[in-house]
């Protein structure tokens, strides 16, 4: 809800028209009516700003929630990649050991002959 700021332009002209203000209202305006008017303006401005702040906070919370879901998804992907790399490393190590054994057996066979 936005505050109708045109009210600020109409109000001073209304106050300056002394004929439209009953004599009972003149002391109220002189003794604090302007303060009341300023309070009303502040109150509506404050309410408007709080509404904007609350919607901003809601959008930030939604972004944080989406970020957490995205990080969880990335964590799962990285875990799968790590397990695949570990499997490949294990196969390479096994193949290296197997090749070393074959070379050792060929060397031993040549020495026997």
Split the chain (113 residues) into runs of 10 and give each run's mean pLDDT. Answer: 52 54 66 78 91 94 96 93 90 84 78 71
Provide the pLDDT for residue 21: 57
Provide the pLDDT for residue 101: 80
The answer to whether 47 touches 1, Cβ cutoff 8 Å, is: yes
Provide the pLDDT for residue 63: 96
Provide the pLDDT for residue 38: 83
- Residue 51 sits at the vertex; the CA angle it makes with 45 and 54, to the nearest 5 degrees, is 140
- Burial label, 107 (beta-carbon count in 10 A; 0-12, 13-18, 19+): exposed
> Is residue 1 assigned to a domain?
no
> Is residue 97 assigned to a domain?
yes
> Is residue 54 assigned to a domain?
yes
Provide the pLDDT for residue 13: 54
The answer to whether 21 touches 29, Cβ cutoff 8 Å, is: yes
Domain count along the chain: 1
């Amino acid at each position: 809800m936005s505050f109708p700021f045109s009210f600020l332009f109409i109000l001073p002209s209304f106050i300056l028209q002394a004929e439209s203000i009953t004599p009972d209202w003149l002391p109220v305006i002189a003794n604090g009516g302007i303060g009341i008017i300023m309070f009303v303006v502040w109150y509506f401005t404050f309410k408007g700003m709080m509404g904007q702040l609350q919607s901003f906070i809601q959008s930030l919370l939604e972004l944080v929630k989406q970020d957490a879901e995205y990080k969880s998804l990335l964590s799962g992907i990285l875990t799968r990649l790590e397990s695949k790399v570990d499997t490949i490393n294990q196969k390479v190590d096994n193949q290296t050991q197997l090749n070393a054994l074959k070379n050792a057996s060929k060397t031993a066979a040549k020495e026997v002959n």
